Amino acid sequence: MLRLISLLLLVLCVPFAGCASNPSNGSKSPLDAGPEDDSAPHMFTLLDLRSNQRLTIVSDAWLRSKGVTGGDFVHRRAAFYAQKKSGDELKVKVVSDAIAQGIWQAFEETRYATMASRGVAPQDAGVIQTLEVLLPAGPVHMAARRGMPPEEGQVLRTSVRAFADVYNSIIQLQASESRPTFEGAGDKR
């Protein structure tokens, strides 16, 4: 639990650390800390089938595997966010490999890592929500469904809360193909 709290504090502080860095003087921000780590989890995806919401966190390792250009994490993240996106692609947030490892460590502490099933998360009629992690060795997942054991449900709920805390604390400025419309707001130009 202490690691989870430490991870959340790190994630809350990291977005602001980039504002204070001055790359022209050769100093590195905490976002650049640590070597590139291809063993880091590549992607975390939370899918709620009731509301059809898909939230995704990708790591720098995933950006590198997709050929996103840039000499370091900060530049690759900027290049990724500069690409115009639409739909679920707008809900993708990028973290460094170190933070992705920290999220996975939090999942290990919640026992997600030992209770998760190998393979892609199912989307059949009995599944309500899935939390899937793409590791270098392949995907693992947990799926919420009616009748699941209470202990498994608690592990999934704790892991989903940890995911949501990290996801909601990541600041992103994503280029968009179109301006979002909000029902009932009307266009008052």
The answer to whether residue 175 sits within a structural domain is no
The whole-angstrom separation of Cα 58 and Cα 135 is: 11
Number of domains in the chain: 1
Q: Is a pLDDT exceeding 50 seen at residue 12?
A: no
The whole-angstrom separation of Cα 26 and Cα 8 is: 28
The answer to whether residue 124 sits within a structural domain is yes
Can you give the pLDDT at residue 41? 85
Phi, psi of 170 (to 5 degrees): -90, 125
Summarize pLDDT for 103-129 with one digit per residue, the tens: 999 999 999 999 999 999 988 878 999
189 against 103, higher pLDDT: 103
- Low-confidence winner among 16-25, 43-52, 134-143 (lowest mean pLDDT): 16-25
pLDDT-derived band of residue 90, with 50, 70 and 90 as boundaries? confident
- Low-confidence winner among 16-25, 54-63, 112-121, 125-134 (lowest mean pLDDT): 16-25
pLDDT-derived band of residue 83, with 50, 70 and 90 as boundaries? confident
Asked if 75 contacts 64 with a C-beta cutoff of 8 angstroms, the reply is: no
The answer to whether residue 19 sits within a structural domain is no
The answer to whether residue 42 sits within a structural domain is yes
Count of CB atoms within 10 A of residue 119's CB? 11
Can you give the pLDDT at residue 171? 80
Q: Is a pLDDT exceeding 70 seen at residue 13?
A: no
Can you give the pLDDT at residue 33? 39
Summarize pLDDT for 62-81 with one digit per residue, the tens: 999 999 999 999 999 999 98
The answer to whether residue 118 sits within a structural domain is yes
Average pLDDT of the segment spanning 157-167: 95
Residues across the chain: 189
The answer to whether residue 84 sits within a structural domain is no
Q: Is a pLDDT exceeding 60 seen at residue 152?
A: yes
* Residue range(s) defining the domain that contains residue 52: 2-14+35-58+96-169
The whole-angstrom separation of Cα 107 and Cα 67 is: 27
